Amino acid sequence: MMRLMRKRLQRLGPYQSLAVLGLPALIVEPAKLAAVVVFGAGHWLSGTVVLCVAYALSFCLIERLFRIVKPKLLTLRWFAKMWCWFIGVRAKAMALFTKP
């Protein structure tokens, strides 16, 4: 089943891949903000559960989807430029914290 899903995702075009990646992000990111609201209402345990589930989905689902659709996304010139910029900034930040 997972292999079939991966093959289907790999056959998508670049903008379709972007939509597939964006849809879970549109659900997970507001859930993180909802957790803050739940915390603010004094429900610490519920807020912690919502936040942990949102981060778990973010790490597991969205990261996995990104790995699958990344080659298609990099065919978009604007995405490739943003990705190269991000990688450069990340490398510079990592250089600040690594030992010489």
For 15-48, the pLDDT digits (tens) are 999 999 998 889 888 998 999 999 889 899 998 9
Q: Which residue from 70, 62, 72 is spatially nearest to 27, judged by alpha carbons?
A: 62
For 57-72, the pLDDT digits (tens) are 888 888 999 999 999 9
40's enclosing H/E stretch is helix 14-40
d(CA 1, CA 17): 19
Domain residues of the chain, as ranges?
2-73
pTM of this structure: 0.76
Tell me which DSSP letter residue 1 carries.
-
Tell me which DSSP letter residue 61 carries.
I
